[in-house]
């Protein structure tokens, strides 16, 4: 089946990269699975960009508990996303998938600076682009970075892989066993109902766009392929 989207942005949480069983920051098996999925998507003709979080290395609540000032903690989180982006790049390129890491803060020895037109050129050349360091400013999450970059590169869709969650629920499924999966919802409904899908800044950025978001369980990375093929998995968010 032909891919539904010309260009997508895949959002992966940092926690999804973690090897909890062995208490390691990275799970090599999962990293390889991500490579296989991204490679398959590119073979289907869809251009791929990624935004990855840093939660496997650094979390904001840890900074607070240690008494680290918020801006400092946020910059530490940005550095964690750069490390994750470099790890993904290594796994991708080990198998021959040309990948660019573009950072919102300058780390020229490790990755390219983020320049919108260059990012689009890389994608037009069928290279995978990983956006690191959020938007380069504190107080903004990687959700906001994903929303902003998706708009800047003219992505058709955002694929949001959640860690152990099937999609968007009408309540927190971790505390309410009766919470129901929502199959389709609008950006405005997310804001009005106060659903914790992504932060409100990110939702607001996307509320006037035609970008669609698919939220699905990333514990099975093949779900991304199923969504791309039009299977009814997870939650669809639209304008």
Q: Mapped to the 3 state alphabet, what secondary structure does the chain carry?
A: CCCCCCEEEEEECHHHHCECCCCECCCHHHHHHHHHHHHHHHHCCCEEEEEECCCCCCCHHHHHHHCCCHHHHHHHHHHHHHHHHHHHHHHHHHCCCCEEEEECCCCCCCCEECCHHHHHHHHHCCCEEEEECCCCCCCCCHHHHHHHHHHHCCCCEEEEEECCCCCEECCCCCCCCCCCEECEEEHHHHHHHCCCCCCHHHHHHHCCCCCEEEEEECCCCCHHHHHHCCCCCCEEEEC
Contact 131, 114 (CB under 8 A): yes
How far apart are the C-alpha atoms of 210 and 6, rounded to whole Å?
Answer: 14
* pLDDT tens digits for range 159-171: 998 877 889 998 8
Q: Name, of 13-27, 57-71, 117-131, 198-212, the range with top average pLDDT.
A: 117-131
Count of other CB atoms within 10 angstroms of residue 97 = 18
The pLDDT score that the predictor gives to residue 76 is: 96
Can you give the pLDDT at residue 150? 98
When pLDDT is cut at 50, 70 and 90, the band that residue 3 belongs to is low
Q: How far apart are CA 123 and CA 46, in angstroms?
A: 10
Pick the CATH number of 7-238 from 1.10.1660.10, 3.40.50.920, 2.60.40.1930, 3.40.1160.10: 3.40.1160.10
- pLDDT-derived band at 2, boundaries 50, 70, 90: very low
Per-residue pLDDT tens over the stretch 72-131 = 999 999 999 999 999 999 999 999 999 999 999 999 999 999 999 999 999 999 999 999
The number of beta carbons lying within 10 Å of the beta carbon of residue 174 is 10
Contact 87, 74 (CB under 8 A): no
Q: Cβ(32)–Cβ(183) under 8 Å? A: no
Which one of 17-21, 155-159, 165-169 scores highest in mean pLDDT? 155-159
| Signed CA dihedral, 178, 184, 185, 187: sign only | positive
Residue 46 has pLDDT above 90, yes or no: yes
Given a contact cutoff of 8 angstroms between Cβ atoms, the answer to whether 96 and 124 are in contact is no
- The mean of the pLDDT values for the chain is 93
Q: What is the pLDDT of residue 1?
A: 44
* CA atoms of 114 and 11, how far apart (whole Å): 17
Quick check: 159 and 11 in contact, CB under 8 A?
Answer: yes
How far from chain centre, in Å, is Cα 160?
6
| Strand partners of residue 214 | 159, 236
Q: Is pLDDT of 233 > 60?
A: yes
Whether pLDDT at 217 is above 80: yes
Lowest mean pLDDT across 21-35, 50-64, 159-173: 159-173
């Amino acid at each position: 089946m032909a891919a539904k989207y010309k260009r997508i942005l895949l959002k992966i949480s940092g926690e999804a990269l973690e090897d909890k069983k062995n208490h390691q920051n990275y799970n090599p098996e999962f990293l390889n699975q991500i490579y296989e999925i991204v490679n398959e998507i590119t073979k289907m003709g869809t251009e791929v960009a990624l935004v990855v979080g840093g939660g496997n290395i650094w979390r904001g609540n840890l900074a607070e508990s240690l008494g680290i000032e918020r801006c400092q903690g946020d910059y530490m989180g940005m550095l964690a996303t750069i490390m994750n982006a470099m790890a993904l790049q290594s796994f991708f390129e080990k198998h021959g998938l040309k990948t660019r890491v573009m950072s919102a803060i300058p780390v020229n020895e490790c990755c390219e600076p983020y320049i919108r037109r260059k990012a689009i050129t890389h994608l037009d050349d069928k290279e995978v682009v990983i956006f690191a360091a959020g938007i380069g400013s504190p107080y903004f999450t990687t959700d906001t970075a994903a929303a902003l970059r998706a708009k800047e590169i003219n992505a058709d869709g955002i694929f949001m892989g959640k860690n152990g969650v099937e999609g968007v629920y009408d309540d927190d499924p971790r505390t309410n066993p009766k919470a129901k999966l929502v199959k389709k919802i609008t950006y405005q409904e997310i804001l009005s109902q106060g659903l914790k899908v992504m932060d409100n800044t990110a939702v607001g950025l996307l509320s006037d766009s035609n970008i669609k978001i698919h939220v699905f369980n990333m514990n099975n990375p093949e779900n991304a392929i199923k969504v791309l093929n039009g299977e009814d998995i997870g939650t669809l968010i639209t304008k």
